[in-house]
Amino acid sequence: MNASNHGNGSLDELDFSILKLLQKDGRMSFTVMAEKLGVSISNIRTRTGKLIEDKTIQIVGRVNPDKVGFHAYAHIKISVRPANMIEYVASQLLEYPEVSFLASTSGDFDLEVDVMCRDNSHLVQVVNERIALIEGVYQTKTDMYFKVLKIAQPDLSGLR
């Protein structure tokens, strides 16, 4: 497989096996991966490098938000008027450090965003003093998450 196959859905079984191992332990060494998968270390190093280079994966440390001081989570639905402002509003939201998820949607609302805030006061400030004041934001609907029970990456076995 060559590097041009990455990024367009043309990952092979070895690529998926590497991704699954890294999802379990992002710090797993190339040596351990090679042993588990029965291939050479250089093959693992090359494949992993290509997966990172083409942005199929990004290796990061995931923190537990509650343990580091984020105690207010919310899901916010946003209507934008006029509709040609959706991309502008989304670009503004992408700049907010509190935003952990942003998607354009169909239905009654145009955008959905998840935010992580220090506390309820911080959340109110983000919603009422920042998001609501973005040009084009017509309406918001905020749902609080009382307790986040699971945050996970997609299960890659569902693709095979």
- Between CA 114 and CA 42 the distance in angstroms is 39
Q: β-strands 72-80, 111-117: how paired? A: antiparallel
Q: What is the pTM of this model?
A: 0.78
Whether the CB-CB separation of 140 and 78 falls below 8 Å is answered with yes
DSSP 114: E
Q: How far apart (Å, rounded) are the C-alpha atoms in residues 114 and 30?
A: 34
Q: Residue range 21-29: average pLDDT?
A: 93
Query: What's residue 155's pLDDT?
Result: 84
Q: Of 76, 79, 77, which is closest to residue 136 (Cα–Cα)?
A: 79
Question: What proportion of the chain, given as a percentage, has pLDDT over 90?
Answer: 79
pLDDT at 99 over 90: yes
Tokens linked to 72 = 């207010």
d(CA 42, CA 60): 22
Q: C-alpha 74: how far from its chain's center?
A: 15
Query: Given a cut of 80, is residue 2 above it in pLDDT?
Result: no
- The C-alpha atoms of residue 9 and residue 7 are separated, in whole angstroms, by 6
**Distance (Å, rounded) from C-alpha 98 to C-alpha 86?**
19
pLDDT digits (tens, 9 = 90+) for 66-90: 889 999 999 999 999 999 999 999 9
The pLDDT tens digits for 133-156 are 999 999 999 999 998 888 887 888
pLDDT tens for 32-72 read 999 999 999 999 999 999 999 999 999 888 888 888 999 99
Distance CA 84, CA 157 (A): 38
CA dist., res. 118 & res. 71, Å (int)? 5
Residue 1 clears pLDDT 80, i.e. is over it: no
